[in-house]
């Protein structure tokens, strides 16, 4: 009698689990209770069919071996568990899993219509989902954000190629990753805030393990007439008058580098001397044309701020007659020249 009580006690503990001092049936046990009648019915049906099909004088058809406790629980668990969806793969944050793909397309001179030979074709990052992280981190550099940390490696200076120098030569320039502390906005001649466009034009490998990938980003301000400059810790904003010559768009070639340790994009600052044509005039609609030609993303400032829950810090309109600029910046396709 003892072994019978011991057997049922062990079976009960196997079929239940402890829950706040009380024993509850396991999910597999509930499945077993619903599955056992079906197994028994199939067993009896198979046995009856085997006996009916056996010819006189022949041995009856072999019957199924008795079900073991392990087999029963394996069958119940397999039927009770619902299939789960395979989660979608995350966008790789390790730059070693990225590829830089040269882009194909023909650029033409807007005046002559002749093809323009580029010193090096622009490149995009593959997979394209990487640009979503770039958009997020770029948006956080447009307005003051105390949550944005400094680069993981400070006082780093990178030497990288520069593609906007006159002629076919590609010189080398120097830049440094930095935490954004200066914020700018553009206004047109009527004093309306310009909704700037951002185009991640080309990506390059820097060869530096801390900041392995650099993306040059076009920041375009159509019909720019004023630049308002706000710096953290400064009480008054600085104003600069803009004169566009030979183009309708003020284009600055900004840059962001990927911080491999922090897994985020960081703005850069150019070291002196500034690279040639880091600010220059461009034709109207050229950013849209480039985005279509190469299949690159194109973002508006207002879209970036809204998408990532950031608020604009600059007013929508100003009164130009009240502005006191510190100087004038004359911008042409060849570059920018400051005058007081």
Over residues 193-241, the pLDDT tens digits come to 999 999 999 999 999 999 999 999 999 999 999 999 999 878 789 999 9
Mean pLDDT for the chain overall: 84
pLDDT grade, residue 42 (50/70/90)?
low
Query: Token match 């007013």: residue?
Result: 315
More confident: 282 or 70: 282
| Residues 305 and 142: beta-carbon distance below 8 Å | yes
Cα–Cα distances in Å, from 225 out to 86, 187, 231, 301?
53, 6, 20, 18
| CA pair distance 325, 275, nearest whole angstrom | 25
Percent of the chain with pLDDT over 70: 73
Amino acid 92: pLDDT: 95
pLDDT of residue 132: 97
Q: What is the mean pLDDT of residues 256-277?
A: 96
**Mean pLDDT computed over 293-307:** 96
Give the mean pLDDT of 14-40. Answer: 64
CA atoms within a 13 Å half-sphere pointing along the CA-CB vector of 244: 24
pLDDT digits 0-9 by tens, 70-117: 444 444 444 445 445 555 568 999 999 999 999 987 777 666 777 777
- Hey, how many other C-beta atoms are within 10 angstroms of the C-beta on 224? 25
Task: State the number of CA atoms in the 13 A half-sphere of 157 facing the CB.
Answer: 6
DSSP of 138-179, one letter per residue? HHTTSS--TTSPPPSS-S--EEEE-S-SSSS---EEEEEE--
Question: What is the pLDDT, as a whole number, of residue 217?
Answer: 98
Strand partners, 330: 243, 337
Give the pLDDT of residue 322: 94
Residue range 46-61: mean pLDDT, rounded: 50
Q: What is the pLDDT of residue 59?
A: 46
Q: Give which of 179, 93, 87 is closest to 133, Cα–Cα.
A: 93
Lowest mean pLDDT among 51-65, 145-159, 265-279, 326-340: 51-65
Give pLDDT, residue 45: 66
| Residue 43 in this model has a pLDDT that exceeds 80 | no
Quick check: 150 and 259 in contact, CB under 8 A? no
The pTM of this model reads 0.73
Burial of 76 (0-12, 13-18, 19+ CB in 10 A): buried
Tokens linked to 114: 């002749």
Residue whose token pair is 């007659």:
321
> Which of 10-14, 37-41, 84-88 is least confident?
84-88
- What is the average pLDDT across 284-313? 96
SS3 content of the chain, % helix, strand, coil (to 5): 25, 30, 45
pLDDT of residue 11: 65
Q: What's the rounded Cα separation, in Å, for the pair 54 and 60? A: 5
Tokens standing for 148?
């944005």
pLDDT score recorded for residue 76: 43
| CA gyration radius, the chain | 35
What pLDDT is attached to residue 53? 44
- How confident is the model at residue 113, as a pLDDT? 75
Nearest to 264 by CA among 89, 123, 135: 135
- DSSP letter string, 265-281: EEEEEEPSSPPTTSEEE
Under 8 Å CB-to-CB from 230, ≥6 apart: which residues? 182, 183, 184, 237, 238, 313, 314
In sequence order, the β-bridge partners of residue 24 are 17
């Amino acid at each position: 009698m003892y072994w019978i009580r011991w057997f049922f006690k062990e079976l009960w503990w196997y079929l239940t689990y402890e829950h706040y001092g009380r024993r509850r049936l396991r999910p597999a046990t509930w499945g077993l209770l619903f599955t056992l009648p079906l197994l028994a019915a199939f067993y009896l049906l198979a046995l009856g069919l085997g006996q009916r099909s056996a010819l006189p004088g022949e041995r009856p058809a072999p019957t199924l071996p008795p079900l073991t406790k392990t087999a029963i629980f394996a069958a119940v668990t397999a039927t009770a568990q619902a299939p789960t969806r395979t989660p979608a793969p995350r966008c790789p944050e390790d730059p070693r899993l990225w590829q830089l793909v040269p882009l194909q397309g023909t650029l033409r001179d807007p005046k002559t219509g002749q093809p323009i030979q580029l010193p090096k074709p622009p490149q995009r990052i593959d997979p394209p989902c990487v640009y979503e992280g770039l958009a997020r981190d770029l948006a956080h550099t447009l307005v003051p954000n105390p949550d944005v940390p400094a680069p993981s490696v400070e006082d780093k200076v990178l030497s990288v190629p520069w593609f906007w120098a006159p002629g076919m030569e590609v010189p080398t320039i120097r830049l440094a990753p930095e935490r954004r502390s200066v914020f700018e906005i553009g206004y047109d001649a009527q004093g309306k805030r310009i909704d700037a466009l951002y185009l991640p034009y080309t990506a390059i490998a820097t060869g530096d393990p801390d900041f392995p990938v650099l993306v040059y980003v076009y920041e375009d301000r159509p019909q720019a007439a004023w630049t308002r400059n706000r710096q953290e810790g400064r009480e008054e904003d600085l104003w600069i008058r803009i004169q566009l010559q030979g183009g309708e768009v003020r284009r600055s070639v900004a840059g962001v580098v990927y911080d491999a340790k922090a897994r985020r994009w960081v703005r850069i600052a150019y070291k002196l001397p500034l690279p040639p044509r880091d600010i220059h005039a461009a034709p109207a609609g050229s950013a849209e044309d480039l985005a279509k030609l190469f299949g690159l993303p194109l973002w508006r400032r207002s879209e970036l701020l809204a998408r990532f829950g950031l608020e604009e810090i600059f007013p929508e309109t100003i009164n130009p007659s009240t502005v006191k600029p510190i100087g004038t910046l004359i911008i042409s396709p060849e570059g920018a020249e400051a005058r007081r």
